[in-house]
Structure formats: C-alpha cells, structure tokens
Amino acid sequence: MRMPQNTEESSLQTRYTAVEDYGIIGDLRTAALVGVDGSIDFMCFPEFDSPSIFCANADAEKGGRFQIQPQLESMREKHLYLPDTNVLITRFLSEGGVAEVSNYMVLSDAAEACEQALVRRAKCVHGEVRFRLFFQPRFNYARSGHRVESECEDVLRFTSEGEDGLSLRLRAGVPLEIRDGDGYAEFTLQVGEHVTFIMDEARSGEHSVCDEPTYATDSFKKTCDFWRAWIARCTYSGRWREAVHRSALALKLLTSRRHGSIIAAPCFGFPNEVGGERNWDYRYTWLRDASFSTYALMRLGYTEEAESFMRWLEDRINELGEGEILQTMYRIDGSKLDGEFHLDALEGYCQSRPVRIGSTNHDQMQLDIFGEVMDSVYLFDKYGSQISQKLWASLRQVLAYVCEHWQDADAGIWEVRSGHQEFLYSRILCWVAMDRGIRLAYKRGLPAPIDEWRAVRDAIYENVFEEFWDPDRGAFVQFKGTKAVDASSLIMPLVRMISPTDPKWLSSLKVIREDLVEDSLVYRYRVGEAFSDELKGGEGTFSICSFWYIECVSRAGDLQRARYLFEKMLGYANDLGLFSEQLGPKGEFLGNVPQAFSHLAMISAAYDLDRRLDQHPSRSVRGGMG
C-alpha cells in the first residue's frame, strides 16, 4: 500500500507503491509487476528486455499503468497466488463490499502455439462494487507518443508512434471510453458478477483466439494446468516446501522459454536506497546469476530448464572468436548490450534517479564468471546430460584464458566501477573453474592438459590462503591489501574450497558476523570502507548474503541456530513469498523484485539445512559461530 512516512514525505510516498507490495505474473517471455492496489505498474512487451509499456514505478505520473480500482471506502487490500500457480489474486475488502481481481499471463504446454495475452478479471464477491479502469500505456520507456482508436464499444487499439510501431489491443466486457488518449471504464458489479479484460498485441489481418467467447475461461484453465503440472515435477519434499515451491515458481518466471536464458530480475528502477542513485536494470542474463539459478533448479529436479540454459550458454561459448572472451551479461537472445543510458525525463521511484537502462558493466572484466560457468557445466554433465565434444573444445579455450589471467585484477562480483582490485571472490571462482574442469576431464575421460590445469588450480589455492588471509584479523579479506571483509567470501565452503569446520574458516565466519551481520541480515560489505564505488548514498542488507551465511552456519554444524536464522529470514519475504535484492532498515524491500539471486540462495539454504536436520534432527554442534 502507498503509505506516507511523515507529513513532509506524504505527497511523494503516496504516489508510489512499496516495493514489497508487488507481485509478479508472466508468460516466460515477459513479466508484469502487479501492486496490491490492483495496478500493473511495470511491464515490458513483448520480451523481458523490450522497452516498457508501463513503468509507473519509475514515474508515477509519466510512466503509465493498467489499473482496476474498486471504489470502496475504508478498503483493505491483500493479494495471494492460487496454490501452485503464478495466477495472482488481488482482493479488496470493506464493509460496503468485497472485490477481487485475477491476474495472469496465458501459458500452455504447446509453447509455439500459445498466444501472448494478459488477462485480468474483476469480480464482486460480496455486496455491490463499483470499479474504475485506467489503461495508460506509455510506449518505449515513456518516450514515444501513441494514438488510440476504438474498434468497437468494448475494444480499443493503441499504437506506438515510435520506430517499433507496437500496437496493443484491449478487449473488455464493458464499454470502454477514450480519455486524453487513454482507456477508461466505469462499471458496477453485483455478487457473483465478473468482467474480463484482455490485452494482446494487435496484428492487422490476423484472427486472435482472444476473440473467442470462452477465451477467458479456457485460458485460465490451461494457465493453471501449466503451472500445477510444472510444480508437480519438483522433487523437493522437505521442510519449508511451500516457500521453496514459491521460490521455484519465481525463478521459472525469470526464464525465457524461447531462448533458454534466465534473467536476474524482471524490472528496472527500484533503488537500493530510496532517493539515491543506486538503481539498476536487471532484465538481462548475467552468466553468474543464470548459472546459480540453473544449479538451484537442477536441485529441485528441473533438468529441462538446465538443458535449455546449457544450449544457450553453449552458443555463447562456441561463438567466441579468436581473442574474445565471455561477457559478463547478455540480452536474453544472446546478443550483446550496447551500454547504459538514462531516462532523464522520468523522476525515478520516489525521486531515485537517474533511471538506468542497459548497463555499463556488460564488458567489465569479472573473472568469477568462468567459475560459475564451469560449475554449472560440471553439474549439468553430472545430473543432466553429457556435454558435447564441441563444447568441451570451447571450454578448454576458456580454461586456457583462466590459466593466463587468474592473477589479474578485475571488477569483482559486485561490479565495482571505481577501479579493479584482486578480489578474493574472483580468485576463489578461478579455482572453481580449474577444479571443475579437472573433475570433468577425469570423469568423462576427456582430453585436457591435466598437469598444467592442476598446477594452476593448486597455485590459486595457495595464493588464496597466503595472500588473502589476514592473521591479525583472523579472516579472509575482500581483496589483496585490505583488512575489510566481504560477505561474498561465504562462498568458500559452499564451493568446497575450504571445509566448513576448518578453524581458519570458523575464525573468518566470526569476523564476518561481527562486521557485517545484524541478527539474520547480512551486508555484502561496508560501503566506503575499503574503496569508493563512485556512487552516492548507501544500501541495505543483501538477501543472497543472508542465505549464504545461514548455509555456512548449517554446514559448520550449528543446525539449530541455522534453522532459527533461516526461519527469521523467511519472515522478511513479502506476503506472496517473494524476495527483493535487499532489505532496508525497517525490513522494507530495496532493489528489484523478485531477485533471482535471493530466491536461488534461499533454495540452496533450505535444501542443505533440511538434509542435515534429517540426518541429525536434534543436533546443535557448537563452533559454527553463527
């Protein structure tokens, strides 16, 4: 809900929905964020990384939205997913009546034959409810104008005046008006009555199945059937099953059915600090995030999604030319980004600007990506299908690059813009790259310069323990030459570079707890402590780091404390079970939502902790220093 913080901020705060009050719907091509107030405030169309058609989250006045708004006094708002689906129900309750709006994007098993449509159904559950509808598309990141025409009394067509010429059609079960170039309707429903609204792309001369009289009923059924069949394939049956399933469903919404790629988050514009400049566009495929997501999905039995991503990844690796290396991130179709630009005409979420599109980090040197890629390939070969000869030949070239450059400075996992350092996390993941390459070669009997690879792997190992260990602090440090610690080092025992009960590791875990942990919440590092990232302001705690910390406590043997921390972290999800990138000082969501990083780390922590609790149901071994 849009709740003012104080009198001074009320005008601004009431215009923007709290980040935690959004749910997500999608069709594995794109996604939409639906506020608890019944407003779709963000949506790109027709793909995840296409220009937005609604982005009221980035500018409440100019961004555009699609809102169905009951006119009820003293109304309470809540939302929920239909069990085992990504069909979102927004509910409005008051003494004068109860209303619901169902929201979904159509899906079916027949991927190629499935139309792309957004369906919303308004229903009166109790009493008599009057509704208002606002359909306000703003094409091309709200930079292009549009024209609108009425095809009949209940169908409007909106066409972008931009280069893409995108055309959208809105069908309704009630008459639609044109007001200031936007769609508008008012209607009243009695108990049990409902009205359906359908948005799809308007293609001239093509018949659309959305015109069929039973379309709303048929599409609702096939969409629910799709999601329930998909979640039924999940092999996880342990504790926190409902939360794990919701995280799996959220991750699935971030996958491209057509390409096999996996995006980091479905949106842009939500800041890491309200009013600050730290906001990013996450609608792309980071090799790091996607590789981790693939592992999380494989753990739950979803090898088909892993195989689709592997095909996408194999294409990126095999297409490398002489002297080229993998980029940090790509568009969902595998093409390269062309930098970052700002939407200066938009005020930003609660005046958090600039609103950034694209990224300047697409061609950054981030050496850790080779470790994440090799780890995902190794695990897919182990639990999915054996990799091809061609891919192995390309991977040998990747590992040859790691052999030559593992000692280089880079931008690290956090994509630092102020200058390169020799980051611990990157060094760890270079070790992972070499280790998984060696394991894969041995396991499959593949040709490889094993002696050279082993020498490099061992050199990296020695380098980490000699040059990144600070004996005065008793901890592994963020980068060579600093005394600061970084929560990304929590990955060490998770990738098996160090035993989770090694005295050095337990000492380092203790320092991380003292420096970066507040209860169950973990900062990735202290902003401005060891280096400047050339950005103003601060940020919240990172949910992925919080779940990594919990898994480290679990692996160290302190199971009861790990369980306590894990269940506290679950309490920071929103009422739909979704997590954003970060949490603010009041537990509010910061950053984009839902964030793949947060959900995949939650799945990993749940999986590990559940398994260990089954093995030792009442065990609480001291020494985890959780």
HEC readout, 475-508: EECCECCCCCCCHHHHHHHHCCCCCCCCHHHHHH
Instruction: Give start and end residues of each alpha helix (H) in 358-416.
Output: 368-383, 389-405
| H/E run at residue 185 | strand 182-189
Report angle CA 365, 539, 511 to the nearest 5 degrees. 80
* pLDDT on residue 260: 97
SS3 283: coil
Residues 449 and 460: their CA atoms lie apart, in Å, by: 17
Q: For 145-182, how does the pLDDT look when each residue is reduced to its tens digit (9 = 90+)?
A: 999 999 999 999 999 999 989 999 999 999 999 999 99
β-partners of residue 590 are 582
Contact 63, 41 (CB under 8 A): yes
What is the topology classification, in CATH, of domain 238-615? Glycosyltransferase (1.50.10)
Residue carrying the six token digits 């499959």: 444
Residue carrying the six token digits 């080779």: 370
Residues 40 and 31: their CA atoms lie apart, in Å, by: 10
Which stretches in the chain have pLDDT values below 70?
1-11, 532, 534, 618-626
Residues 195 and 185: their CA atoms lie apart, in Å, by: 11
SS3 66: strand
* pLDDT on residue 606: 98
Residue carrying the six token digits 């096939």: 222
What is the topology classification, in CATH, of domain 20-227? Beta-galactosidase; Chain A, domain 5 (2.70.98)
In angstroms, the Cα distances linking 248 to 33, 294, 534 are 18, 11, 35
HEC readout, 216-273: HHHHHHHHHHHHHHHHHCCCCCCCCHHHHHHHHHHHHHCECCCCCCECCCCCEEEECC
Contact 370, 320 (CB under 8 A): no
* pLDDT on residue 589: 98
* pLDDT on residue 85: 98
Residues 157 and 141: their CA atoms lie apart, in Å, by: 19
Report angle CA 57, 60, 64 to the nearest 5 degrees. 80
* pLDDT on residue 618: 66
Please, what's the b/e burial string for 331-357 (b: 16 or more CB within 10 A of its CB; e: otherwise)? bbeeeebeeeeebeebbbbbebbebbb
Each domain of the chain, given as residue ranges in start order, spans 20-227, 238-615
DSSP state of 352: B
